[in-house]
Amino acid sequence: MAIELTRVDEFALITLNRPEALNALSFSLIRDLGRALDEVAAGEARGLIITGAGVKAFCAGADIKELTGRSMMPQRAGAELGQATFAKLDRLPVPSVAVINGYAFGGGLELALACTFRIATRNAKMGLPEIKLGLIPGYGGTQRLPRLVGEARALEMIMTGRTVDAEEAHRIGLVNRMVDGDPVAQGVAFARGFAEYSRPVLALARDAATRALDVPLTEGLKVEADLSTLAFQTKDAAEGMAAFIDKRKPKFRDE
């Protein structure tokens, strides 16, 4: 299978498993990824970690060999499939962490951009090289990258196709952290930073921050007022505040 869905401790782990093609995103791999994301959404995992098989690549992007010679309507359907699949990451009930363990180009970087967090091994190289193929990104890169690193840096990456290394990616906020050692262990260590908190409240926090970027500030503040009020209504909020007052560790139950 080009997509492997396994479990590491309390986390789901998706491995892109096509190392012979640097884990490039064939359409069948994208469909399998969509099914795996549905399974994660329906399951009990406290977070999702995504990484690439092998030592060379997270994912080298859309499968260029499949893209050539496609007419306009199938190409449009392909972009919609990729976008819809990656959008599942935005709606996942748990946070996701892309562990970029090598090349993340084109659709590969776009997949990482759709995750809640990104961490990168020191050998990681990232870019949107579509322009070199006479293309532009089609799986969300033109929209998510400027939101993350700002318009000027995003336009430079999109319009020059320039590759950034892990250090620069960290500096410009493209990745949260640079890591050494086993990528999965590093992904798990990162995910431990949020795993103990309430799942529904984590989802509200993510929605408030990401939805706010889609609307003017006044609307975003309304979204925040609504979602923070919703968080306040959860049993986990009652437990968290009671635990503070009792000077004990809270026990969240995802309610």
Interaction site with ligand CAA (CB under 6 A) = 21-22, 24, 60-65, 82, 103, 105-107, 110, 129-130, 133, 135, 137-139, 141
CA atoms within a 13 Å half-sphere pointing along the CA-CB vector of 68? 3
Residue number closest to ligand CAA, CB atom? 106
> How many whole angstroms separate alpha carbon 146 and alpha carbon 168?
16
What whole-number distance in Å separates Cα of residue 73 and Cα of residue 93? 32
CB of 142 to ligand CAA, least distance (A): 9
What letter would DSSP give residue 236?
A: H
Minimum separation from the CB atom of position 245 to ligand CAA (A): 50
Cβ closest to ligand CAA, residue 108 vs residue 200: 108
Q: Cα–Cα distance between 104 and 231 in angstroms, integer?
A: 35
Residue with tokens 């469909």: 31
* Beta carbon of residue 79, minimum distance to ligand CAA (angstroms, whole number): 7
Instruction: List the catalytic residue out of 4, 66, 80, 110.
Output: 110
Asked whether the CA dihedral 55, 60, 62, 63 is positive or negative, the reply is negative
Q: Which residue has the tokens 């050692």?
A: 181
- Tell me, yes or no, if 110 is annotated catalytic: yes
The tokens of 209 are what? 């921050």
Residue number, 64 or 87, with CB nearest to ligand CAA? 64
130 is catalytic: yes
Closer to ligand CAA by Cβ: residue 133 or 209:
133
> Of the two residues 69 and 216, which places its CB atom closer to ligand CAA in the complex?
69
Catalytic residues, by residue number, are 110, 130
